[in-house]
Copies of this chain bind each other. A is one copy, B any other.
Amino acid sequence: MKFLHLSDLHIGKSVNGFPMLEEQRHIFAQAIGHIQTEKPDAVLIAGDIYDRTVPSVEAVRLFDDFLTRLAKEGVTVLLISGNHDSPERLNYASRLLAERNLYLCGVFDGKLQSVTLSDGYGEVNFWLLPFVKPSTIRSIFCDTEIDDSYTDAVSMVLKTAAIDYTARNVLLSHQYYTAAGVTHVLSESEINPVGGLGAVDSGLLSLFDYAALGHLHGAHDVDRNVRYAGSPLKYSFSECRQEKSATLVVLKKKATSV
């Protein structure tokens, strides 16, 4: 199974007053070219599709163009909302688009959604976890023990999903994951007043064959098979020296490293 991992598109973002729409259109054209060459089975977009919960008309049009092009390429799209997105707005038409192999998961409603794709080695389950806050998870599961811990919140979601880890599993998640003992200094554009600063222990993801993460803008591995793809453009000065790239992942049979 081959898939392209993207994240943090932030469509419609302006940087220091300059709209980035044309640069973003250029990046999407590059992504389409990459897809035509590499022919992945799926494209994974790990949240922050838009920069604002109510995106501009121009941003909506650009995302619509990108999504329509992806569909034309015949590639399956798996996509979650990030803390910058409106979960409900991103969910619009999602049941209809799923019939076209475009899986847009904006809202976490208590059940971790999954999509199963197959290759010569068997099935791969893709688990779609939109950005969640402890308060959301607490209210869904009526669990007062979650308190304000993002680790507890994500742990609760994964536990209730009853994932069979003997199969191949890929998680899409948009949170601030850190490996035990490693901290990460957030850039200006990663800090957002709507939340998402609470760290999640990446140890929770150790049984996944790959975790396609979004939220941090610099591409990097958090742990083995646990990776931030990074934003395709640099959105603040402190991001300038960061590696920027989409990540092409090839998943072979179970227990083969990515």
Give A residues with C-beta under 8 Å from B: 54, 57, 60-61, 63-64, 67-68, 71, 86, 88-89, 91-97, 99-100, 102
Q: How far is the CB of A32 from chain B (nearest CB, A)?
A: 15
Query: Pick the contact of A86 from B57, B64, B68, B102 — CB < 8 Å?
Result: B57
Q: How far is the CA of A100 from the CA of B102 in the complex (A)?
A: 13
Query: Pick the contact of A54 from B54, B93, B95, B102 — CB < 8 Å?
Result: B54
Tell me which residues across on chain B come within 8 A of A97, comparing CB atoms: 93, 96-97
Tell me which residues across on chain B come within 8 A of A96, comparing CB atoms: 67-68, 71, 93, 96-97, 100, 102
Q: How far is the CA of A94 from the CA of B64 in the complex (A)?
A: 9
Tell me which residues across on chain B come within 8 A of A63, comparing CB atoms: 92
Q: How far is the CB of A50 from chain B (nearest CB, A)?
A: 12
Q: How far is the CA of A54 from the CA of B89 in the complex (A)?
A: 11
Residue from A54, A68, A71, A92 whose CB has the most chain B CB atoms within 10 Å: A92
Sample of 18 A–B contacts (CB below 8 Å): A57-B86, A57-B88, A57-B89, A61-B88, A61-B91, A61-B92, A63-B92, A64-B93, A64-B95, A68-B93, A92-B92, A92-B93, A93-B96, A93-B97, A96-B96, A96-B97, A96-B100, A96-B102
B95 near A68 with CB under 8 A, answer yes
Q: How far is the CB of A57 from chain B (nearest CB, A)?
A: 4
Tell me which residues across on chain B come within 8 A of A64, comparing CB atoms: 91-95
Q: How far is the CA of A89 from the CA of B96 in the complex (A)?
A: 17
Q: How far is the CA of A91 from the CA of B93 in the complex (A)?
A: 12
Q: How far is the CA of A63 from the CA of B99 in the complex (A)?
A: 18
Tell me which residues across on chain B come within 8 A of A54, comparing CB atoms: 54
Tell me which residues across on chain B come within 8 A of A68, comparing CB atoms: 93, 95-96
Tell me which residues across on chain B come within 8 A of A67, comparing CB atoms: 93, 96
